[in-house]
Chain A
Amino acid sequence: MNASNRNENQALARAVLEIDVANHPGVMSHVVGLFSRRAYNVEGILCLPVGDGRQSRIWLLVGEDQRLPQMIRQLEKLEDVGAVRRHHAEHAVFTQLEAFFRP
């Protein structure tokens, strides 16, 4: 991504999605593929197993674009997705990680 693009993107509003999924090797591809094949940039991804490890939780930081409601519906349609919750961009999950992403 070039600099002017990056500036433009930062000016845009963001949203954080919290997605409960079944934990297996293909699930990240299913989720991220929905975005990549629509040229919808995913700015941040975080995924860890929860509980007994049969489930995982994926956190996505995405641009707040007019397609977002449709993206959420597409996510909800995936067999491996249990639930999708939408949060504001200031959600602690990504802001607390900033220390690991200093240039």
Chain B
Amino acid sequence: MSETPNETLTGAQITVRLLERQGVRLVTGYPGGAILPIYDALGQSTAIRHVLARHEQGAGFIAQGMARVSGEVAVCMASSGPGATNLLTAIADAKLDSIPLVAITGQVPKAMIGTDAFQEVDTYGLSIPITKHNFLVSSTEELLEVIPRAFAIAASGRPGPVLIDIPKDVQSRAIEVAAWPEPGHRSAPAAADGMALAEAAGLIAAAKKPLLYLGGGVIHAGAADLAVKLAEKANLPTVMTLMALGAMPVDHPLSLGMLGMHGAPYTNLALDECDLLIAVGARFDDRATGKVAAFCPQARIIHIDIDAAELDKIKTAHVGIVADVGEALTRLLPLVPENPRKSWVDRVDALKTAHPQPLPGLDDPRSHFGLIRAVAACLDDDAIVATDVGQHQMWAAQAYPLRRPRQWLTSGGLGTMGFGVPAAIGAALAAPERTVVCFTGDGSILMNIQELVTAAEQGANVKIVLMNNAVLGLVHQQQTLFYGQRLFASEFQAMPDFVTTARALGIAAVDLDQAANPCAALADAFARPGPCLIHAGIDAEQKVYPMVPPGAANRDMIGAQA
């Protein structure tokens, strides 16, 4: 506690002061009756800027965009009842992707809790299973303990969302504050077990066909460089999950890109052959492993993760190490001998040549892959790439040349349509010097299209590439492949004019379908600062290939032929 002369402050003023003391400079949210005392105090703050979203889910994803780009805890706010329930999807999404958020919700006054008061919902109860931790604050004094603790919890260990529900009377009541608590920060986790590290190094040295398997934890830990160093030193071909893309540059000779359901054929085939799998900050998600019994069937497993509950959850590890992956890799590196591993590296290269990722139309900017590459050609590695959820997301994962950690923002675990636009806005707010591109679909963009107004208002430098196939593409694909081509509820009968809509919502828009030279039109759109919607028609019959049918083994991909 730091001593200051006593001040008499309301709970709302204390909340804002504690956020300021945390170093928070930007929050996003949406007001309502039960959180008005906090909004009133926030309005008086000169340190914190508030970005008004146009829907609480938008606020949640704007905060996620900020957190994913910066690695710092981001803050979003909503009122009680519908405000809080609207926030829930973004919180659940943050939980599954381990994104550090502090969500502050207003609640009806304590005396009215449990009376079915106006705009009362059990926000605490609703948020238990989708937060890392949550609080219902029962006194103004408690704020001094709860708020720093919420930040510490969100940032420590495996990051995640923390919700603080604050009844209105707790916000309004004034108390005397004699001393301020220290801001909450990430606490250092216990060090990795040295014996286990030595054992892991021994397994790596002895392996003939090892593979490095990187997950989102490598990004969160800021350990991508270390992972690449380990791969290079021991010549470990490296696969990445959807969440880890960018950890190793795609064009690195040891990179095998993304594994799993929509991974390249050579990637899944190499996994089938490996004799040692080194999982770092990864959790053996079903989209990555396919049928678990058939995943890396001959491999021993080293599993390094900060979350002890991930070890042995899906696959039993021969060596399990609970640690910050950065710390573990730093200490593992000197223990692992250099090894050219020529025959395995050659074998993996042969698989790459024989079973490449099909990328048809790469040179045609009017095709899906060609468009993604044409967008990439307008940008450098400083750009941030956000996506929505659907075929466009998987195509971007397969074809965009990602080369940098925190370059790639996508909803991996929850797969939430509507993530893209607000997350891109949050990214642009957190990193105003960068260009943010968002690949979205005609279904996804409608789920949070109101945030285009926020983008316009903020002048956020987001370029939204709408890949419009006039269908819910990924649903259409599954119905075509696995439901006897019975297309139902996956084709839109009516479609807004997206270019006009974007302009009406206040942002520039360009239709590549009408452009004589789509590459020139793209370059033009990227050259102008500020938000822009770039509309491009995409053939609805295109599929995301290869595809491992749900429940099948990864080796049984369909559509793997180039």
Contacts and interface: CB of A to CB of B under 8 A. Distances in A.
Does chain A bind chain B?
yes
Contact of A79 (B153, B312, B313): B153
Contacts of A30: 128
A82 interface: no
A61 B153 CA distance: 30
Given A77-B308, A79-B153, A70 B313 contact: yes
Contacts of B136: 25-26
Given A26-B136, A73-B309, A37 B129 contact: yes
Interface string B106-146: 00000000000000000011001100111010000000000
A26 B131 CA distance: 13
Contacts of A29: 125, 128
A29 to B, nearest CB: 6
Nearest to B134: A26
A40 to B, nearest CB: 14
Interface size class of A (residues with CB under 8 A): 10 to 19
B309 A26 contact: no
B309 A77 contact: yes
A69 B153 CA distance: 24
Most A Cβ at <10 Å: residue of B124, B125, B309: B309
B308 A69 contact: no
Contacts of A9: none
Interface residues of B, number: 14
A37 B125 CA distance: 13
Interface string B466-478: 0000000000000
A76 interface: yes
Nearest to B125: A29
B88 to A, nearest CB: 15
Most A Cβ at <10 Å: residue of B128, B153, B308, B313: B128
A27 to B, nearest CB: 10
Interface string B64-92: 00000000000000000000000000000
A77 B128 contact: no
Chain A contact residues: helix, strand, loop or mixed: helix
Contact of B309 (A33, A70, A79): A70
A74 B124 CA distance: 19
Contacts of A74: 309
Interface string B287-317: 0000000000000000000011100110000
Interface string A15-36: 0000000000110011001000
A69 B129 CA distance: 19
Contacts of B124: 26
Contacts of B134: 26
A63 B247 CA distance: 42
A77 B125 contact: no
B122 to A, nearest CB: 10
Nearest to A67: B313
A30 B133 CA distance: 9
Interface in A57-102: 69-70, 73-74, 76-79
Interface of B: 124-125, 128-129, 132-134, 136, 153, 307-309, 312-313
Interface of A: 25-26, 29-30, 33, 37, 69-70, 73-74, 76-79
16 contacts: A25-B136, A26-B124, A26-B134, A29-B125, A33-B128, A37-B129, A70-B309, A70-B312, A70-B313, A73-B313, A74-B309, A76-B308, A76-B309, A77-B308, A77-B309, A78-B133
In the A-B complex, the 10 residue pairs with the closest CB atoms: A73-B309, A79-B133, A77-B309, A33-B128, A74-B309, A73-B308, A37-B129, A29-B128, A70-B313, A30-B128
